[in-house]
Amino acid sequence: MGQHRSTQRRKPTGRADEDVLTRTIIRLVSKFGRYGYRRIHWLLEQDGWRISLTRVKRIWRREGLKVPQKQPKRSRLWLNDGSYIRLRPAAKSHVWSYDFVMDRTHDGRAFRMLCVIDEYTRECLAIHVRRKLNSQDALCILGKLFVRHGSPQHIRSNNNGPELIAQAVRD
């Protein structure tokens, strides 16, 4: 016929127990949602199935099964459905936010900015720029803003980075 041997393919025949095994795997996954394919393979072996791990992995991938991401730890702001309550500003000077922002000048030298905003009015209360900012600078700026605008009921910060000053602000 003039055809190359590699163009001839044998049609794969599925195993007789493939559908039953797939339904069993899906049933176990729906019952034990945090188990991966290795633990499901172990459960199948406990039920009397004599199958290889690679076969379970192949079915697992073919069915698009995944272990869900681990949910974050629940703190006082988290609800049962995974959402959380964020304090919404109700009036001017109710909630202020501050954050440190870093950038570089054209010559590569770093500088930092302390930005303070009123979340209700979206007014920028202060942008303080220096090459180096520490917790004492932040406390001084917040103190001046308290004198000028009055103290807010709540202050929010992201608490990330080397300038962790939340404890100093609380004190």
Q: What is the mean pLDDT of the chain?
A: 83
Share of the chain above pLDDT 70, in %: 82
Q: What would the pLDDT profile of 144-167 be if each residue is shown by its tens digit?
A: 999 999 889 888 876 655 555 666
Phi then psi for residue 95, to 5 deg, are -130, 125
pLDDT (average), residues 67-91: 67
**Domain 95-170 sits in CATH 3.30.420.10:** yes
Domain ranges of the chain: 15-62, 95-170
Phi then psi for residue 42, to 5 deg, are -65, -40
Strands of the 154-157 sheet, one edge to the other: 123-130, 110-118, 95-104, 154-157
**What H or E segment, with its residue span, contains residue 19?**
helix 18-31
SS3 category, 22:
helix
| Closest by CA position to 150, among listed 142, 158, 161, 140 | 142
Quote the pTM value.
0.49
* Predicted pLDDT of residue 78: 54
* Predicted pLDDT of residue 164: 57
Q: Does 109 score more than 70 pLDDT?
A: yes
Cβ(104)–Cβ(98) under 8 Å? no
Residue showing tokens 């980075």: 161
Binning pLDDT at 50, 70 and 90, where does residue 75 land?
Answer: low
